[in-house]
Amino acid sequence: PEFYNDGAAMSVESRLQELGLSLPELAAPAGAYVPGKRAGNLIYVSGQLPLRDGQLIAPEVGSDVTVEEAYEGAKQCALNGLAVLKSVA
């Protein structure tokens, strides 16, 4: 996939790299579900946990979680979802 930044085509992974981010390896499903499924021109991604290298990096928000920890957890969930999209696309 590509998007445009100031008129130049750039891949999503190039933009992530520019931001100092990278897509993680897909985590093994922790239950009986499929991480992502393509249906026509749509891809459905199941719920993502804030897992990094197999470890939960942010507990449930609302307990003793700082704003920064919640932000990092949300960012990791988004990266994990993008990794699923890439694997299915």
Q: Are 5 and 75 contacting, i.e. CB atoms less than 8 angstroms apart?
A: no
pLDDT tens, 25-62?
Answer: 988 777 788 899 999 999 999 888 899 998 888 877 77
Mean pLDDT of the chain: 85
Residues in the chain: 89
Q: How far apart are the first and last CA of the chain?
A: 9
